[in-house]
Amino acid sequence: MSTSPSSSRALVLGSTSRYRRELLQRLGLPFDVLGPGVDETPLAGETPEALARRLALAKARAVARQRPAAVVIGSDQVADLNGEPLGKPGTHERAVEQLRRMRGQTVVFQTALSVVCHESGFEASELAPVRVRFRDLDDAEIERYLRAEKPYDCAGSAKSEGLGIALLERIDSDDPTALIGLPLIRTCRLLRAAGLRLP
């Protein structure tokens, strides 16, 4: 659906991620932040891409119900290791396990974005997949990285905007901030489509 252009709508980021908040600040738009409170448990047989898409839209819709006149951004990222979803590790032990499994592998970080405005009826979603080739890491490298960075709130334990870049051989993406958690090129496109004027 489309909406007539209007710059008067409030913008809301439906996320508790500090990384997404910091990225959205780059656009110079005022915005509020609301936690969406969405259960992120994968459904049986759900692919990483489908999971990321479903959660991004669920987050945007959940916050849009609370702020129906606002333009709401929802986003989610799932690390896709040969079709298996890898989420946020949460603990050091799970992060070690994830990085051991990803070493020498190509992992697709499925970053989904949804923008919703209940009042105008606008709803649109996009996917920004990022292919990441990990170096053949040894256990000592993994341990040093985790102790230094503590990326336990990052999908797949890989925090590329910090020391995690040293774990990688290659990143292939058409939207450079997608790997950090919010694809800003696509975000700008959907915000314009929703009627917001960007600087």
CA distances from 181 to 113, 144, 166 (A): 9, 24, 18
- In CATH terms, the fold of domain 11-193 is Maf protein (3.90.950)
Three-class HEC string of 78-130: EEEECCEEECCCCCHHHHHHHHHHHCCCEEEEEEEEEEEECCCCEEEEEEEEE
Residue 4 is predicted with a pLDDT of: 39
As a whole number of angstroms, the distance between CA 120 and CA 56 comes to 19
As a whole number of angstroms, the distance between CA 181 and CA 135 comes to 21
Of residues 59, 53, 52, the one with CA closest to residue 14: 59
CB 146 within 8 A of CB 28: no
Residue 7 is predicted with a pLDDT of: 56
CB 64 within 8 A of CB 70: yes
Backbone angles phi, psi at 105, to 5 degrees: -110, 160
Burial profile 101-129: b = 16 or more Cβ within 10 angstroms, e = fewer? bbbeeebbbbbbbbbbbbebebbbbbebb
CA distances from 18 to 13, 137, 145, 170, 180 (A): 11, 28, 20, 25, 10
As a whole number of angstroms, the distance between CA 31 and CA 86 comes to 30
Backbone angles phi, psi at 28, to 5 degrees: 70, 20
Residue 170 is predicted with a pLDDT of: 96
Q: Which residues contact 76 (CB under 8 A, 6 or more apart)?
A: 40, 51, 52, 53, 55, 56, 59, 111, 112
Residue 1 is predicted with a pLDDT of: 37
76 belongs to the catalytic site = yes
pTM of the predicted structure, to 2 decimals: 0.90
Low-confidence ranges of the chain (pLDDT < 50): 1-6
Q: What single-letter amino acid sits at 120?
A: S
Among 32, 76, 80, 172, the one annotated catalytic? 76
